Chain A
Amino acid sequence: MRKEGVKEDNSSDGDGYMNEEELTGSDEDESEDDEDEDIATEGNNGKLAKKEKNAHSAPDAKTKRKRQDAMPQDGVYTAEVYKSNMFKLQLDELLEQVKPKYGKKEASAERAMRTLKTLIEQIPSRGPLSIPEAEKLFKSSKIAIPFPKPLPPKDAKYKLQFERPASVNATGSYPLKISTRTNEELVIDMVVTMPGSIFQEKDYLNYRYFYKRAFYLACIVDGLMSSKDHKFKISYDCLNGNYLQPIIIVRPSGDGSADDFSSAKCRIQILLAAPDKTFPDNKLRPNSNCVRPKVSEEESTKEKVSPTPFYNATVQSDSSVTAYLKLLHSSSSNCDSYKDACILGRVWLRQRGFSSRLRKGGFGNFEWAAMIALLLQSNHGAGPSPLSPGYSSYQLFKATLQFLANKDLLKTPYLFQASDVQAPKHDSAPFFFDGPRNLNILYKMTPWSYARLRHEAKLTVQMLGETGFDQFEPTFILKVDSPVLRYEAVVEIPVASLGFNPTSDEYDQSLIQTARKMYTTLARALTDRVTSISINLPAEKNWSVMSTRPQENGGNIVVSIACDPANANRAVDHGPAAENKKEAAAYRQFWGEKAELRRFKDGSILESVVWSAKDTKSPILEQIVSFILRRHFGSQVGDQMRVSGDSFAHMISSGRIAGQSGVVPFVPLMNAFAALEKDIRNLEGLPLQIRHFFAADPQLRYTSVNLPTSTVQSLMHTPASIVIQFEGSGRWPDDLSAIQRTKIAFLLKIGELLSTYRSTYTTRIGLENQSQPSQNQAYLEIILPSGPSFRLRIHHDREAALLERQLKDKSLDGISRESAALALAAYKRNYLRVPSHTQTVQTLCTRFPALSPSIRVTKKWFSSHLLSPHFAPEFIELLVIRTFLQPHPWPVPACATTGFLRTLAWISRWDWRHVPLIVDLGSSGPEGADSKANAMKSEEINKIRTRFEAWRKIDPALNRVVLFAATNNDVEGTTWTDGAKPEKVVAARMTALARASMNVLKQEEDRLASLLEGGAEGEKKQPAFVPDSLFISNLQDYDFLLHVSPDFARSNKRLPKSKFKNLEIQQSIQANNDVQSVAYDPVETYATELRAVYGDSILWFWDSESLDVIAGLWNPTMTGQRAWKIKAGWNSLPLVSSKNKKNRNEEEKAEIKLNKEATLNEIARLGSGLLERIEMK
């Protein structure tokens, strides 16, 4: 302990970062490795524990597991500053998980660093040498000097030189203890500070600094390579992908020697730094120019040279490495929660695909940490600091995101203690200038990465602002940057098609410039149709120290586009008015022949661009992208690029959103519904007035897989349900069965009046629920001549009271009360929940254009996998609605594909045994923050959870309620899933299928990732993924299959095969115009009957959309041999087992098993004529 104390003192009163001491100091202990390690860890623990003491008053600083035993007070009183208890607890766990342990594994890396340090310090001085001499120097060792392009002139007057470094330190996140341990390698930075003596005053000009730096680096490589005793794998890379800053990557040799640090799973990066203030600050300000053009001196002074902010910042960043280490270290000692906030930021950035690398956005861990550190300090003259050291880690995290989301640093730069600095005018990077260290810390960012960062920050701030749910998972756990889930469209452009010369000096710049141009072009063309455009450039690789930086070959630029659902499918774009000559000309120049002058309804004459909404093959967005890229980047790009978007929409008819909303295909039916309501309300002679007229059908809430009405005039196959309610009256009988008969009398009356009122309507009365006289007995079917058909039922609210009375009536026998319970559930579902659900979904579908197609695709997925008989349609709808109302961490889906895939992703993650589905219908989605009033309160959610947990306690085996889905309208949560609908096995199958689908998507993501890498030409191109593959069900898993005869399968009926379209139409008209065919579904009736006959001995699966196969699974508890029982409840086969014979007690031990053959024979007899063949496994 004493030793530890000493150590700590050292580090705190020294200049702040103990690395030097630790590295050198512990050299003495090298013989006693274990002890050394203990000290290191103890030291860490001690530090943490000290902090812990302040924060949590943990009793024993020595306890290694600190977190678990946090006192309850901790949570009770910190709930406020950490959003909620749940959030805080999960946060603690996350932090504990991602922090490296600084234990045995890491110790090996630390040892390797000490070795490296010693090696570097022993390298002899070299030079000064001229450039040709320098190149000659490494001829023998074949080491390449990583000069940045343009290569230095051979006749340069300056000399390159190596001298013992001023210092060798660990730097970056590792020693600051803000690094994170994930599946990837840990990166440990080591900085070698070059001595100031090798630089001249003017070295910041014309790459001179970088040439010297490259030579210095090559000398280090030479020194490391020439060491006989120590073996490392060494390669070059560029720091953050910045071609000016080559660095050395050290990887373990993997040979198990003393220097092998494979166990640490990390790589060591050796960076070079210049000493502080090597070059004058004002020369490296963003507005100055440091790369003089290669023209004669006189001209250059006359002409105004444009500033080189990126170059300047790169030089400056090299000479402020130590300054930043100091800054971060002082922040972490001034502010207790600084480190944790940094770690949270790292996790957040990583899940969103941000990194410090130039081509990955240029905003990574360092930028995050530096930003918080600067925001913690007050800016002179600008009031108090934006962040306070007293904040909790969560508050720091959230406030930083808020800063990012709310400040537009492109328009209004943030100047930290640097009032005199101006942002360069034409620079497209956001401006966050750190005066004391003279650096714009965001200099690596691009316009699109900055836009994306702000967008993500905004989404997260919104998400954290929600009170009901804790949102921990979407904030930190989910991988947000998945291209298939995050974006609506992806454009792949081979770099080769852009026609650059990969050997030219300007390759890097031209790639960036093209990307910039692409971004501005696309942004201008797509306007408010899109919310974010992300351009992913091919990733660079590190390269051998034996060669110069290799040329990038090929690879692809991948542009991902996220749409705004409200505008994405607009057909007409308005440009400037014709009188405005200058702008109109620019507009024409931009759009070329696409631009046309149009006169609009309001009388204005505008330049405009019109897209065809009818072209169903490619949505408008794709049309625009293809057109504009071809126009501005040449036909080669146009030919070779690949645009994909909304790839699942074709699974359903009219799946693409046409115009402003996704509900257009349902309009004819909705109109017919409105007309019918009017007709029925107008009927004269009804004994009671109609009070309510409710739609209660998927087709009337835009969610049926197939469109109810088609262009070919034919009758709707499945009538849409309607519920009407009469005004109250005391003359109804006070008896359930009699009420049902009275309802029939009403239906007869309505039918009679309606057919006289509108003679074209066909009406008939159908019967139902014959086994349950107290449930609804009949419905009125109304078939309109134009095609739509409806099924009308009467709701009488007295039924509920009567049923509840029966439930409580102890004088009734058990069967009667059970039947009353069933009837009550059916009553609530059919008359209360379905109509209200229909109304809700109707409004939601008009509000979210992509909701209707998303639900339809998702339903299609369920039925393609033969799951439709097991899931209530309302339940599937709720699953999709959750994706729209609680879309976090993504924005609201803008097309069927993202809506569907995100739902699938959620299903694959859903642990339904332990987690209820809670849909907050009151939340208005992320946009309407103003109407929070209706959103669920956390008390409501807790109530639902309690109810859910109660169900799990009552029914732990999940025999009755498997899935639990509650909304604010239906807190009971079992309306759609009670009675084992679906059963446990089926729910498990749903999860398994969703996971399998996600795996297929993962492959697609890998393919996109490999596109970026480009790789060798020989590599086989992975085939692009086929959306249909997610909808093909594997029939191998079932015990037997009933193949429905093609005459009866619906898939065939829907698409009659005919050579001539006109004949086809005629046929279908004939076939479908028979009123008798409405609602005639022999196969479906057969399947439901099978379910009733075989109870739980067989589990049935079918696709109610196509109805071409019915699959069955034997209940495994019945297929085995079991003791004889008279009422087994399934078709049995008597057996005499050999055991019984021995006992001579045959009678008693007789056994039976399922008689499969006879059962199948029964099934075939029942379905004679319907079935083509039965396949048995």
Chain B
Amino acid sequence: MASSKSKTPQSISGFTVLPLTLPTLKSLPTSTPTTHYLYIRPHAPTHPTPTTDRSLFIANVPIDATESSIRTLFADQLGGSRVQTVEFDSSVPATPVVKRWKSETAPEKAKEVEENRGKKRKRESDEDVVAEGVLEDEKSMLPRTWDRELRRSGGTAVVVFVDQASCKGAMKEVEKKVKKGAEVRWVAEEGLGVQRYQTHQTLLFPALSLLHSSINAYLSSFNRTELARNRLRAKQRSVPDEDGFVTVVRGGRAGPARLEEAEMKKVELEERQKKKGAKEDFYRFQVREKRKEREGELRRQFEEDRRRVEEMRGRRGRLVPQS
């Protein structure tokens, strides 16, 4: 790696390239330490949020990065700036998908929803936007099965510092380290590997009492949300949009139509149509047309088959018995 280090650029497209020395491992012996590269710059999203000016944006996060490991990295090796939170763009296993309506349905909250997707959820603000289930809190959530999550390879993170000053300080410190070529080590948190999988195995099967209470909490919260959702739907039903149309939404009739009934009706309808009208082979022209159609079908089928055989020949060459 030493030779490539000299070639490594210190910055790239406005990002400072911070090399991290990785720990040497028993299972992977290497002569020189291996290096991981972080790309860091001050956070500058298209839609700034209140925390933007005290955040750094990091690309190519190691897969075992966690909030606390990033915090330790800045605290111990990069000038001791204090990190408030770290928001990762991805996690393995992925954060639960919460189904929502398109932003048009609730435009005033669209931006917020977009921002919040994949992040920590804020229950208070958008409860009635969720299209399915409820936004879960600690109580109604099912017990977690992993003690820590992983990141997808090559993911990004936004590091929010406690204040603007520590953010700037951290960035400066990064640039300084890069210029000096000082070694920054990546200290992985303990608890990966076998231990993590063992914990997962025990977490997979939570205590029954825990499940009981979680489900009770969920169902009561669901009842509340459902009421709210019904209210929202009722409103949509009654309010015409700017063109004067009323959106047709669920819940207009007493209950969902039964599938069996619908099918019975369909059969009835077909029956009725069958009885109506003249028989199909009553007139001579009908017979003639039918025959013509059948012939056409045969011809079409033949053309189709011929095309297939032609294609087969094109693919495998000549048709010769195996020897």
Query: CB of A593 within 8 A of chain B?
Result: no
Given the interface pairs A1134-B8, A1166-B193, the reply to whether A741 lies near B204 with Cβ below 8 Å is no
B306, A75: Cβ atoms closer than 8 Å: yes
Inter-chain contacts of B322 with A (CB < 8 A)? 351, 477-479
Of A244-252, A858-866, A1121-1129, which stretch is located at the interface? A1121-1129
Task: Determine which residue in B27, B35, B259 has the highest number of CB atoms from chain A within 10 A of its CB, and name it.
Answer: B27
Most chain A CB inside 10 Å of its own CB: which residue of B34, B117, B308, B319: B319
Say whether B92 faces chain A, with CB atoms less than 8 Å apart.
yes
B7 / chain A contacts, CB cutoff of 8 Å: 1135-1136
A-facing mask of B184-226, CB < 8 A → 1, else 0? 0000100011110110111011101001100100110010001
Asked whether A93 lies within 8 Å of B13 as measured between CB atoms, the reply is no
**Contact flag A183-B99 (CB < 8 Å), given A801-B259, A1086-B197:** no
| Cα separation A1089 to B302 with both chains bound (whole Å) | 51
Contact of B37 among A350, A1126, A1155 (CB under 8 A): A1155
Given contacts A89-B306, A1132-B60, A1136-B8, are A1171 and B198 in contact (CB under 8 A)? no
B residues less than 8 Å from A844 (CB atoms)? none
As a 0/1 sequence over residues 91 to 102 of chain B, the CB contacts with chain A under 8 angstroms (1 = contact) are: 011111111111
Q: Specify the chain B residue showing the minimal Cβ separation from A815.
A: B97
Would A1076 and B201 count as touching, CB distance under 8 A?
A: yes
Cβ distance B297 to chain A, nearest Cβ, rounded Å: 10
Contact: A97 with B93, CB < 8 Å?
no
A118 within 8 Å of B (CB atoms): no
Inter-chain contact A98/B321, CB cutoff 8 Å? yes
Q: Which residues from chain B contact A765 at a C-beta distance below 8 Å?
A: 205-206, 208, 211
* A86→B305 contact, CB < 8 A: yes
User: For residues 59 through 105 of chain B, which have their beta carbon under 8 Å from a beta carbon of chain A?
Assistant: 59-60, 62-64, 89, 92-105
The answer to whether B9 touches A816, judged by C-beta atoms less than 8 angstroms apart, is: no
Other-chain residue from B25, B62, B132, B194 in contact with A1164 (beta carbon distance below 8 A): B25
Q: Which residues of A sit under 8 angstroms from B312, Cβ to Cβ?
A: 90, 914
Chain B nearest CB from A84 CB (Å) reads 8
A770 contacts the other chain (Cβ, under 8 Å)?
Answer: yes
Q: Given the complex, which residues of B lie within 8 Å of A174, measured CB to CB?
A: none
- B140's nearest neighbour on chain A, judged by CB, is A741
B204, A1131: Cβ atoms closer than 8 Å: no
Per-residue interface assignment for chain B, residues 130 to 165, with 1 indicating a CB less than 8 Å from any chain A CB and 0 otherwise = 011110000000111100001111111000000000
**In the assembled complex, A911 has its CB within 8 A of some CB on chain B:** yes
Q: Mark A1076-1102, 1 if CB is under 8 A from B, else 0.
A: 100010100110010011110100000
Which chain A residue has the least Cβ–Cβ distance from B6? A1136
> Interface 1/0s, chain A 454-488, versus B by CB < 8 A?
00000000000000000000001111000000000
Which residues of B sit under 8 angstroms from A94, Cβ to Cβ? 319, 321
Q: Which residues of the other chain, B, contact A182 by a CB distance below 8 angstroms?
A: 320-321, 323
Residue picked from B15, B25, B323, most chain A C-beta under 10 Å: B25
Also in contact, A183 and B101, with CB within 8 A (given A738-B133, A1086-B197): no
CB proximity of B289 to chain A, nearest CB, Å: 18
For B278, list chain A residues within 8 Å (CB). Answer: none
Please judge, given known A-B contacts A1161-B34, A1173-B27, whether A816 and B99 are in contact too, CB under 8 Å: yes
CB pair A772 B97 closer than 8 Å: yes
Q: Give the complex CA separation of A207 and B219 in angstroms.
A: 102
Interface: A773 (CB within 8 A): yes
Q: Is the CB of A736 within 8 A of B92?
A: no
A816 and B25 form a contact (CB under 8 A): no
A1169–B15 Cα gap in the complex (Å)? 36
Give the residue of B98, B101, B142, B219 whose beta carbon is less than 8 angstroms from that of A767: B142
Is the CB of A85 closer than 8 A to any CB of chain B? yes
Q: Which residues of chain B are near A1165, meaning CB under 8 Å? A: 23, 25, 64, 188, 192-193
A79 to B151 Cα, complex, angstroms: 61
Q: Which chain A residue shows the least CB distance to B318?
A: A97
Instruction: Point out the residue from A72, A479, A772, A1128 that lies within 8 Å of B299, measured CB to CB.
Output: A72
Known pairs A733-B222, A1093-B150; A1147 contacts B12 (CB<8 A): yes
**A738 to chain B: which residues have CB within 8 Å?**
133, 218-219, 222
- Please, which residues of chain B bring their CB within 8 A of the CB of A1135? 4, 7-9
| Cβ–Cβ < 8 Å partners of B63 in chain A | 1093, 1131, 1162, 1166
> Is A774 a contact partner of B315 (Cβ separation < 8 A)?
no
The reply to whether A1134 and B17 contact each other, CB–CB distance below 8 Å, is yes
User: Is A518 part of the binding interface, using a Cβ–Cβ cutoff of 8 Å?
Assistant: no
CB distance from B114 to the nearest CB of A (A): 9
A1129 nearest CB across to chain B (Å): 5
Pick from B11, B93, B117: contact of A1092, CB under 8 Å: B93
Nearest B residue to A88, CB-CB: B305
Please tell me if the beta carbons of A1080 and B154 are within 8 angstroms of each other in the complex.
no
A1150 x B100 contact (CB < 8 A): no
Are B321 and A1130 touching (Cβ within 8 A)? no
Residue numbers in B under 8 Å from A748 (CB-CB): 208, 211-212, 215
When A79-B298, A735-B132, A1129-B154 are in contact, do A1158 and B98 touch as well, CB less than 8 Å? no
Which residues of B lie under 8 Å from residue A427 when comparing CB positions? Answer: none
| B295 interface residue per 8 A CB criterion | yes
Alpha-carbon gap, A738 to B321, bound state (A): 61
Question: Which residues of B from 208 to 252 have beta carbons under 8 Å from A?
Answer: 208, 211-212, 215, 218-219, 222, 226
Taking a contact as CB atoms under 8 Å apart, the answer to whether A735 and B133 are in contact is yes
Count of A residues near B, CB < 8 Å? Answer: 107
Those of A703-738 within 8 Å (CB) of chain B: 730, 733-738
Q: Which residues A1123-1177 have CB closer than 8 A to chain B?
A: 1124, 1126-1136, 1146-1148, 1150, 1155, 1157-1162, 1164-1174
Q: How far is the CA of A960 from the CA of B222 in the complex (A)?
A: 37
> Chain B contacts of A820 at CB under 8 A?
99
Cβ < 8 Å to A, chain B residues 1-22: 1, 4, 7-9, 11-15, 17, 22
Q: What is the bound-complex CA distance between A1158 and B65, given in angstroms?
A: 14
Query: With the chains together, A477 CA to B218 CA distance in Å?
Result: 64
Contact B59 A1127 (CB under 8 A): yes
Minimum CB distance partner of B99 in chain A: A816
Does B46 have its Cβ within 8 Å of any Cβ on chain A?
A: no
A1146 engages B133 (CB within 8 Å): no
Q: Which residues of A contact B177 (CB under 8 A)?
A: none
Stretch in A574-582, A806-814, A826-834, A1019-1027 touching the partner: A806-814
A84–B304 CA distance with the chains assembled, in angstroms: 12
Q: Are B212 and A1126 in contact, CB atoms less than 8 angstroms apart?
A: no
Q: Flag if B28 contacts A1174 (CB, 8 Å).
A: yes
Known contacts A98-B321, A347-B321, A737-B133; decide if A772 and B306 are in contact (CB<8 Å).
Answer: no
- Least CB distance from B155 to A in Å reads 8
Complex interface: chain A residues within 8 A of B306 (CB)? 72, 75, 85, 89
User: Is B321's CB under 8 angstroms from A812's CB?
Assistant: no
Q: B30 contacts A477, CB within 8 Å?
A: no
Tell me the smallest distance from the CB of A451 to a CB of chain B, in Å.
Answer: 24
- Cα A321 to Cα B48 with chains together (Å): 100
Instruction: State whether the Cβ of B293 lies closer than 8 Å to any Cβ in chain A.
Output: no
Contact at A741–B215, with CB atoms within 8 Å?
A: yes
Q: Does B286 contact A (CB under 8 A)?
A: no
Residues of B within 8 A of A52 (CB): none
The complex places the Cα of A816 from the Cα of B321 at a distance, in Å, of 54
Distance between Cα atoms of A1006 and B146 in the complex (Å)? 57
CB distance from A902 to the nearest CB of B (A): 14
Picked from A766, A801, A1092, the residue with its CB within 8 Å of the CB of B204 is: A766
A970→B104 CA distance, assembly (Å)? 39
A-B contact pairs, 21 of them (CB 8 A): A72-B306, A86-B309, A94-B321, A477-B320, A734-B256, A745-B215, A748-B215, A770-B96, A772-B97, A806-B99, A914-B312, A1085-B197, A1094-B152, A1127-B154, A1131-B153, A1161-B36, A1165-B25, A1165-B64, A1167-B193, A1168-B193, A1172-B27
Task: Please give me the 9 A-B residue pairs with the lowest Cβ-Cβ distance, nearest first.
Answer: A737-B133, A1168-B193, A1169-B194, A816-B99, A1082-B197, A85-B305, A771-B94, A1169-B193, A479-B322
Known contacts A1095-B152, A1168-B193; 11 additional CB pairs below 8 A are A183-B323, A772-B96, A813-B103, A815-B97, A816-B99, A914-B311, A1129-B152, A1134-B12, A1136-B7, A1158-B36, A1160-B34
